[in-house]
Chain A
Amino acid sequence: MAAIFQGVGAAAALSSLPSNSFDSKNFLFSPRRSFSVRKAPSFVVVRSDGTMNLDLNPKGRRAQQFIANAVTTKEDSSAASSFSKPGNELLLFEALREGLEEEMERDPRVCVMGEDVGHYGGSYKVTKGLAKKFGDLRVLDTPIAENSFTGMGIGAAMTGLRPVVEGMNMGFLLLAFNQISNNCGMLHYTSGGQFTIPIVIRGPGGVGRQLGAEHSQRLESYFQSIPGIQMVACSTPYNAKGLMKAAIRSENPVILFEHVLLYNLKERIPDEDYICNLEEAEMVRPGEHVTILTYSRMRYHVMQAAKTLVNKGYDPEVIDIRSLKPFDLYTIGNSVKKTHRVLIVEECMRTGGIGASLTAAITENFHDYLDAPIICLSSQDVPTPYAGTLEEWTVVQPAQIVAAVEQLCQ
């Protein structure tokens, strides 16, 4: 099943993402305190060479999703799909909407607030049709007052609702920084645990197609220090829906980062109810030589570079970290211990970005396992220029990734 990747120029990254054997996707949390008993599902790994392994996680505590390597265009997904019921094929924004809709049906306290989410259907159509279905109060069109309606969402969350606040563009949430940092992150603590804030704040961010500096911001680096919040970034329709649902069900405030250029990704996702664990990373392509950590749109640049690398004889292991705060140091650590080389590819700025934090975390925890210094490829520390050529050079391109891997593996 080829994922049709639209909108990233001619060099479309073909990463086919077969439906995962989703009987392993029983990540439905046991209630808060008693998570010591986790299922150890057995699932099938379809490897790039077409062989299949039955992989039981030895610890029996966590399941890892293995998406079969599909940098090659081999239709090995057919093998995987025979293990799953036919899902439905949809685009990423539709997956988000499906997740949101299902959660709104499931729990009447879930509501959406944001600019143009109601009658307009959302500036990226994530909430299309929801206002008609659920009414104007559940899908609330707000005036242009980010700070206040985010605060309103927080107040509503404290008093029993489960709002999903949409920033039309993540950059606009800079105006809501006061509420996100002071109230969203801190009120559970300063109230001594009396009030929970089960809010989801989501929106598209990242560098788009010549959108200009203010509309091309990566807020994950600004928000990452705020205590009390979780941040996740989705990258495929599958994990978009899963993360959306998990975020809504979570009792913690969660910021879900979507990417402007990924909304038209197509994938076949399962019909069944599933969620993606908020704290776990996703193994995109297992490998041996080097660990490449990435998230959001850069995943596709990495997968494209991986094609080239495979042809050159390298075997990169690609992990989509997905959880930007906190980091899944288990998945990452296991990978580092296996490959001993780490490359981080991100869209954040060089200074103080997610990559910077990740570099520090890996160095702190896995220093002994590293054979080479960590290379972190980030966007340039410049306001994103309008000109297409300049914009291209601010973000990391596959050629740079290939070069970095070659350098690492010397």
Chain B
Amino acid sequence: MSLSHHHLNTNILPTLSATIPTPFPLVFSAPIVSFLSFIFYSPLSLPSSPPIFSPFPSSLPTRKKMATAFSPSKFAAQPFPLNTTSQNNPLTIPTTASPFLGSTRKLIRLSSSSNLNIRRRSGTVVAVSDVVKENKSKSTLNLLITKEEGLELYEDMVLGRAFEDMCAQMYYRGKMFGFVHLYNGQEAISTGFIKLLKQQDSVVSTYRDHVHALSKGVSARAVMSELFGKTTGCCRGQGGSMHMFSREHNVLGGFAFIGEGIPVATGAAFTSKYKREVLKEADCDHVTLAFFGDGTCNNGQFFECLNMAALWKLPIVFVVENNLWAIGMSHLRATSDPQIYKKGPAFGMPGVHVNGMDVLKVREVAKEAIGRARRGEGPTLVECETYRFRGHSLADPDELRDPAEKAHYAARDPITALKKYLIENSLASEADLKAIDKKIDEVVEEAVEFADESPVPPRSQLLENVFADPKGFGIGPDGQYRCEDPKFTEGTAQV
């Protein structure tokens, strides 16, 4: 991020660095070091970096011992940045026991251990220092995933990539129109998180939602048909690219305006809590994931929902897909404090930063965060550093981003990384993976065929689904409800 900033906005740099308050002055002035941090860091080098955060040491599970991918020795003054504020003192956020919950929440004890070098964002998972201290030993024997899991992850990511590439093709062939936002490059986040969910868990996304829907289980055919605007689409062709919904798989959208899905996700989490506590469905532990981008993190709805979710300890995980760009607005140009994960503790929830190009790391963080939510310990804010290989949408010429930045992230392609990991650790062979590639190609091809052959919505569909109860169209001059008018079902009635 600072890399791009450095290259692009040199004339702004001097002004900015003068005005940036601590703790962030050095980000802009030390781009080289950060760049190096990316280079030295090899995505899925084994074993992976230490886990994640665990704000409550007692809840630190019996984790496999894992070493750091790049040990502190490589970067002289590079301890793990913490999800803390800039102060060097241990901060104990006073407990604000909400009388409503009747419980005393223990908030994160922000540790002061080593020097808090928060000026640099490393590519690894942020860990609370307590955890970090424990996991220095290297172990080469413990892998993060089994073969089945590995193949599942690989297949899901390849499906996401192949699907999005096909979307681009179809768009340029005139099969779909409007705004289409592709997810290339960010697959690790969708796969890393959503593959840990159960069917009853909910996912709420943004307009960049095709892959979230696919990961959650919506069939490629349904999504492709929806994109083609056919009646067999998951939303009967009425939603389009930005509105992927599935009742069966609990995909709650698909929202065109940024930020407007976050309250909906908060509501879904509220329902889960309500079901458990009011309706006494004791085993209801449904978790909701809300995905959104860096631009959204400057939006009021984000903050309002962080507050409410933490206040009521809702079972939700806020996943920030920080791909550094909001159309053409660099995250750094838009945000006073670009470290989004730090905003979690401000509201009383853990904030974690993870390398979003590394599906295994994302998965580890996701496990913790989803586990927290399931146990009723409340929300988590996870910031995933990622990148989109294509433009903001298919209509975006993508001229602002530095080619070097793009190349850098292309080198960290999550699919390539996982492939390498699987092969190097003998979890799968080239042939296995090629077979998956081929299978996915067929799935996507078949989806296109299905969509092509599906019918477009008939006129009669125009007025359907506006209201759940179509009496809402009211009573016409003849005394009949308008929805009883035969022209209504034909779609030609004037309502």
Contacts and interface: CB of A to CB of B under 8 A. Distances in A.
Interface stretch (A93-101, A166-174, A327-335): A327-335
Contacts of A326: 472-475, 482, 495
Contacts of B197: none
B264 interface: yes
| Of listed A35, A159, A198, A252, residue having the most chain B CB within 10 A | A159
B477 A365 contact: yes
Nearest to B234: A192
Interface stretch (A4-12, A14-22, A136-144, A283-291): A136-144
B468 interface: yes
Interface string B214-255: 000000000000000000011111111001011100001111
Nearest to B495: A326
Nearest to B243: A190
Given A137-B277, A145-B304, A158 B472 contact: no
A197 interface: yes
Interface stretch (A147-155, A297-305, A378-386, A394-402): A147-155
Most chain-A CB neighbours within 10 Å: which of B234, B257, B468, B480?
A: B468
Given A137-B278, A160-B275, A250-B469, A194 B475 contact: no
Interface residue range, chain A: 35 or more
Given A147-B304, A156-B270, A182 B256 contact: yes
A279 interface: yes
B376 interface: no
B245 A195 contact: yes
B270 A35 contact: no
B262 interface: yes
B368 interface: no
Contacts, number: 212
Nearest to A135: B278
Given A61-B480, A143-B311, A161 B469 contact: no
A354 to B, nearest CB: 14
B431 interface: no
Interface in B442-467: 464-467
Interface string B298-312: 001100110110010
A225 interface: no
Contacts of A195: 245, 247, 252
Contacts of A145: 300, 304, 307-308
Nearest to A329: B477
Contact of A149 (B236, B257, B308): B308
B304 A188 contact: no
B464 A252 contact: no
B168 interface: no
Interface string A166-190: 0000000000001100110001111
B266 A155 contact: yes
Given A137-B273, A155-B252, A193-B236, A188 B471 contact: no
Contact of B257 (A143, A182, A198, A227): A182
A191 interface: yes
Interface in A215-240: 227-230
Contacts of B469: 32, 250-252
B42 interface: no
A323 B311 CA distance: 38
Contacts of A137: 100, 273-274, 277-278
Contact of A158 (B239, B267, B475): B267
B478 A330 contact: yes
A376 interface: no
Nearest to B252: A158
> Which of A182, A193, A331 has the most chain B CB atoms inside 10 A of its CB?
A193
A154 B311 CA distance: 19
Contacts of B243: 190-191
A190 B245 contact: yes
B424 interface: no
B260 A192 contact: no
B484 interface: yes
Given A252-B469, A279-B481, A191 B264 contact: no
A145 B479 CA distance: 42
B16 interface: no
Nearest to B202: A159
Interface of A is mostly: loop
A292 interface: no
A164 to B, nearest CB: 13
Contacts of B305: 148, 151-152
B360 interface: no
Contacts of A183: 255, 260, 264
A108 to B, nearest CB: 6
A228 B467 contact: yes
Contacts of B304: 143, 145, 147-149
A330 B476 contact: yes
B266 A151 contact: yes
Interface in B321-371: none
Contact of B301 (A148, A157, A333, A365): A148
Contacts of A82: none
B263 A179 contact: yes
Given A108-B278, A152-B263, A179-B260, A191 B475 contact: no
A36 interface: yes
A36 B485 CA distance: 11
Contact of B267 (A151, A191, A228, A331): A151
B474 A323 contact: yes
Interface in A96-150: 108-109, 111, 135-138, 141-143, 145, 147-150
A276 B470 CA distance: 17
A196 interface: yes
Contacts of A142: 308
A62 interface: yes
Given A59-B479, A191-B235, A250-B469, A153 B267 contact: yes
B425 to A, nearest CB: 40
A66 interface: no
B268 A155 contact: yes
Contacts of A135: 278
7 contacts: A32-B468, A32-B471, A152-B270, A154-B264, A158-B267, A229-B472, A326-B472
Given A137-B100, A147-B300, A279-B475, 10 more contacts: A32-B468, A137-B274, A143-B308, A145-B308, A148-B301, A152-B308, A182-B257, A194-B245, A251-B469, A326-B495
Interface of B: 100, 202, 204, 233-240, 243, 245-247, 252-257, 260, 262-275, 277-279, 300-301, 304-305, 307-308, 311, 464-482, 484, 495
